[in-house]
Amino acid sequence: MIYIDRQVVHDILTEEIDMFSTCLSNLFTNVTKPVFDIVLFCLQLKRILGIKGPLCVLAWYSLSGLALSFLSQPVNRMNKVVHQVYDCYKAYHIRLVEFAEEIAFFDGIKTEKKWNDAYLQDVIGNTDLLIYKKLWIKTINSIVSKYGALIVAQFVMALPAFSANSWSISGLSKDYIRTSSYFVNISKASTRLRLAQKNIISLAAYTEVLHHGLKNLKSIKNINMNEVTGKYFKSESIIFENVSLISPEGNMLFESLSFQIDPGMHTLILGPYGCGKSAIFRVLGALWPLYFGSIHCPDLKDITYLSGVPYIPSGPLSSIFSYPTDQKINKQLVKSALEIVKLSHLNEKIDSEHSEDWKSLPIKQQQLLSLARVIYHRPKFVILDECTLALSNDQEAEIYSYLQAQNITTITLSQKESMLKYHNFALKLQTEGSWNFYRVSHDNEYIFS
């Protein structure tokens, strides 16, 4: 479900269904009945007290409503703050799902849990403050609605005693009992009607989200989860033996895929958009099930994956290079890595503990920063998934030359055949499921295996 609809899956399963049902069940009674009650009992009051009675009642509820609205402004502002921190918490989860594959390769689960707890505590703290303020506002609201309305009601019910030319105790008592009942019902109806607007707005929002989620739920029925029989083995090389790549929707991408990438075999995985290039590293990292075949590969700590939009967590610059651990970084090596990728202007931030949102950087600098992290850690293999598109040809050539000179085996996923010049092997994929693995000759001829 996350693969199909990663934006709203968590909220649909935990909140929206319950809230939608509650709003829908309360809609009729919170709108139609209060309006009917107010109209009906105001007409009855007019018959007993004249036009002055209903006018006084409506004037009181209008004035008290304005006063309570003014007093509720601090609560509304606090409510916005709570929504903002909750939106940050929700955005963090969405971002977590979006970059889950890179986080899995970095083994960043413990670090992400710690950050998740920090966001959650921010939500809890602000929500507690909002509840405290709502307590006082609702207390004032209850006093005004109950006792204030009672005072006005007593005043309105006394009008006949002061305005009538002749009256009797029995007649006044009869009118008093009847008007008291009418005032009680008008008060209840007005209180419920105040909630109707929020009810309608909430119902509209929950309906839209739920409709979108339920539509995507239908597509899950088409997923065919075959039996998983593939196995993983430890190896110094990356070896695929008769591997079948099957997407989470159950579509067969490639069948009996076999190739071997030894250290130093810089390989280009070439193919058009959507042919399944990224599926190879997803199965390699056990992010997708290995249904058939076997894969031999090193520990994931020896393999780094970089996407076109890299995952750069918010925080001080040092946390980018230490991620996913809290270990101290070698500042000299960080400076060297930044200078290699032409980001030496960031050296001044190495000693800073100030948290920054690195996603605000231009995409070119984000890609260079992620490459600097690779240079700093020096993994045995690095998978580059269209992560140099924003770089110039000269910068791209310098990066590949440096990585390969440091014995970092580069595996590039790209649509451009021009990337062949940086590699000595290629795996060419086609959208119909065919593939070829061959050695690249830089004398303008290909030698197929």
Q: Which residues of 266-302 are buried (b: 16+ CB within 10 A; e: fewer)?
A: bbbbbbeeebbbbbbbbbbbebbbbbbbebbbbebeb
Flag whether pLDDT at 43 surpasses 90: no
- 413: closest CA among 439, 382, 440? 382
Question: What is the average per-residue pLDDT within 202-219?
Answer: 76
What is the pLDDT, as a whole number, of residue 393?
A: 86
Contact 197, 35 (CB under 8 A): no
Residue 434 has a CB neighbour count (10 Å cut-off) of 11
User: 210-219, 346-355, 391-400: which range is least confident on average?
Assistant: 210-219
What is the pLDDT, as a whole number, of residue 223?
A: 56
- Segment 358-394, tens digit of pLDDT: 888 888 888 899 999 999 989 999 999 888 888 888 8
pLDDT band at 87 (very low <50, low <70, confident <90, very high): confident
Mean pLDDT score across all residues of the chain:
80
User: 17-21, 200-204, 444-448: which range is least confident on average?
Assistant: 444-448
Question: What is the average per-residue pLDDT within 142-147?
Answer: 71
Flag whether pLDDT at 410 surpasses 90: yes
- Segment 333-342, tens digit of pLDDT: 989 999 998 8
- Segment 148-184, tens digit of pLDDT: 766 776 677 666 666 655 556 666 666 666 766 777 6
If one compares 435 and 102, the residue with the highest pLDDT of the two is 435
d(CA 376, CA 397): 18
User: 4-8, 207-211, 292-296, 417-421: which range is least confident on average?
Assistant: 4-8
If one compares 14 and 252, the residue with the highest pLDDT of the two is 252
Question: What is the average per-residue pLDDT within 202-209?
Answer: 80
User: 86-90, 205-209, 396-400: which range is least confident on average?
Assistant: 205-209
Q: Is 27 exposed, middle or buried (0-12, 13-18, 19+ CB in 10 A)?
A: middle
What is the pLDDT, as a whole number, of residue 448?
A: 40
d(CA 349, CA 367): 18
What is the pLDDT, as a whole number, of residue 445?
A: 45
Type and span of the H or E element at 427:
strand 425-429
What is the pLDDT, as a whole number, of residue 10?
A: 57
pTM value is: 0.60
- Segment 284-331, tens digit of pLDDT: 888 888 888 999 999 888 888 888 888 888 888 888 888 878 788 888
Phi and psi of 330, rounded to 5°? -85, 100
Q: What is the set of domains in the chain, with CATH numbers?
A: 9-220 (1.20.1560.10), 231-448 (3.40.50.300)
Q: Which of 10-24, 123-137, 399-413 has the highest mean pLDDT?
A: 399-413
What is the pLDDT, as a whole number, of residue 425?
A: 92
